[in-house]
Amino acid sequence: MPQPILVTGGAGFIGANFIRQWLAAEEAPVINLDKLTYAGNLRNLEDVSAGPGYSFVQGDINDRGLVAKLLAERRPRAIVHFAAESHVDRSIHGPDDFIRTNVNGTFALLEEARAYCAGLGPAGGEFRLVHVSTDEVYGSLGPEDAPFFESTPYAPNSPYSASKAASDHLVRAYHHTYGLPVLTTNCSNNYGPHQFPEKLIPLMILNALQGKPLPVYGDGQHVRDWLYVADHCAAIQIVLARGRVGETYNIGGGNQRRNFEIVETICAILDELRPGDPVVPHRQLIKFVADRPGHDRRYAMNSGKIEGELGWRPKETLESGLRKTIAWYLAHERWTQEVTSGSYRQWISVQYSL
């Protein structure tokens, strides 16, 4: 049997989609290490959990003894590091968890990976650690500014983005100081199946279906570059297989849209698919709410490096990706009911003052 890969945070949104795509391609076995915080859900992997190529370990990346034991016993050929606290709003209200997981957790993982890699001898040159990060580390763009390049100076503006910037710097330092064979990816805003509905697109879908307000921050003119999660996962697989060690690759969807446009597009698709919902047209539900502190105005990614070097390009347009996403949520009512518990509803109502 081929050597497995270790995926951290594999029960979360992007990690679960990555594991599913990896196993569908009949790649090496996967060990999923996940702490199962509020956004981690093993139901995200129900369709692959019984397969021979998948195994799950509940644990924290800060538990260095556990990580060392997994590496020593399972001998993975790569680590794909998704585990992170990832919601900007939550980082504003409670940054402690973001520092603990994103900074300290990445440090702990790097230390154990360094020890493991050193113990592999000559085979250590084949080992890879892919660190999955975000475009938010680059800060905010003006309307006419060029997109972010891999060489764009870091200027994080939220506790979340600062914690991810710190982890990026640690990964880079471990390559340059210790020779650890790492690769870093910085992606734009992901969306798609299994996304926890505190994020914009699933929140709008689920609220619209129930006739609830669709809260839009500020004037709704904040611009994001939207990337369908399956395209992102395909890019990470390519980076792991063919990326140059020590390099960073930006992964963008090529879909810059204002938040208000995204919400209007979702409403238009739901008008077509769900004409019998409590409130139609769904755009009547849009409600502008107070902007969040330090809200970055615009993100945009230049993906020329990964396109030119590795041949990756996104397959989904925003329209096709949104239709697939909406169809998935419509078909998975049980999943959404389970994740939108009382604590979730309380968080949303307080966060948006609804």
Of 56, 75, 172, which is closest to residue 126 (Cα–Cα)? 75
Count the neighbouring beta carbons within 10 Å of the beta carbon of residue 197: 18
> Which residue in the list 54, 116, 138, 160 is annotated as catalytic?
160
Residues in CB range of 133: below 8 A, 6 or more apart: 164, 167, 168, 184, 185, 186, 187
- 272 counts as catalytic: no
307 part of the active site = no
Catalytic residue among 85, 89, 112, 136: 136
- Write phi, then psi, for 210 (nearest 5 degrees): -100, 5
Active-site annotation holds for 225: no
Q: Do residues 85 and 91 touch, judged by C-beta distance below 8 A? A: yes
**One of 60, 135, 296, 316 is an active-site residue; which one?**
135
Q: Peptide bond before 281: cis, by omega within 30 degrees of 0?
A: yes
Q: Report the catalytic residues.
A: 135-136, 160
